[in-house]
Amino acid sequence: MFTRLIRLKLPFDCLSHQGRCRPSILKLFGWRYPYLDNLPTVIPTSDLKIASQSPYDYENAGFKHEFQFIDVPDFNGQGETTPTPFFYQNLAEAEYVVAMYMYMVLVGYPPEKISILTTYNGQKFLIRDIIHQKCSWNPLFKKPAKITTVDKYQGQQNDYILLSLVRSQSIGHLRDPRRLTVALSRARLGLYVFGRFELFSGCHELRNAFKVFMGKPLRLELVTGETYPSKRRLEAEGKSQNEVQIEDFQQLYKIVQDLLKQRV
């Protein structure tokens, strides 16, 4: 409807400023808007000597980057599966997302500040099943704020978003840049996307977003020994001795097990 009205030359205003996400995350979807800029509330303080209460001034505790695309290869020779027609699932991504959620909770992130999104209903149900299997036995792990699809989450936001793209053989309906824009613009402070990088980065319609993702490693990078909320300023330079690069979800689960032993 809006597209038709604009094509008919009716007057309109385009979004010019945003006050939701970090400026770095804006780069992932800002190319969709010709003049989109940041409100002062989300711009980090440049003076490191000034004590700040704004979460936009600090890194995400336990993470090297405030956003990242994590490339997820086949697990046991399998990527996407369809148990029934159009019911797409990806076990490796689902396990990785749940391991990430458990890691964040053990680091101290409030579960209500984390939402898990995916592009297909089949994956949503698979993630819910794994969350129930691995987390319901321990009172430390409450449920995240939401486990739902990108389409259902339109118009909502949360501090931290874990996003599973599911597909490993074809792009699917994410080829529509509008759906990708919704998916990448839900997070305020941290966005971690799990998918098959070679597949999605080769899509012409999505190339602008994936050029930004290419600026960071495709393996998850953690900073161990930190707890939420982070005291590491965003502009701080230098490499931490506690940086760890994660190869797969099994390695991340081992870190989760070590953190659990420390808590028990």
Structure tokens at 152: 């259902």
The whole-number pLDDT of residue 260 equals 94
For residue 23, with 0-12 CB atoms within 10 Å meaning exposed, 13-18 middle and 19 or more buried, which class applies? middle
pLDDT per position as a tens digit, 183-195: 999 999 999 999 9
Pick from 141, 159, 161: which is nearest to 256 by CA? 141
164, β-bridge pairs: 118, 194
Cα 163–chain centre separation: 5
Ranges in the chain, pLDDT < 70: 48, 236-240
CATH number for 64-259 (one of 3.20.20.80, 3.20.20.370, 3.40.50.300, 3.30.70.920): it is 3.40.50.300
The whole-number pLDDT of residue 239 equals 64
Structure tokens at 107: 């680091």
* Per-position DSSP letters for 203-258, written without gaps between them: -GGGHHHHHHHTTS-SS-EEETT--SSP--BTT--S--TTEEE--SHHHHHHHHHH
Domain range list for the chain: 64-259
**Number of neighbours of residue 36 by Cβ within 10 angstroms:** 15
pLDDT per position as a tens digit, 98-155: 999 999 999 999 999 999 999 999 999 999 999 999 999 999 899 999 999 999 999 9
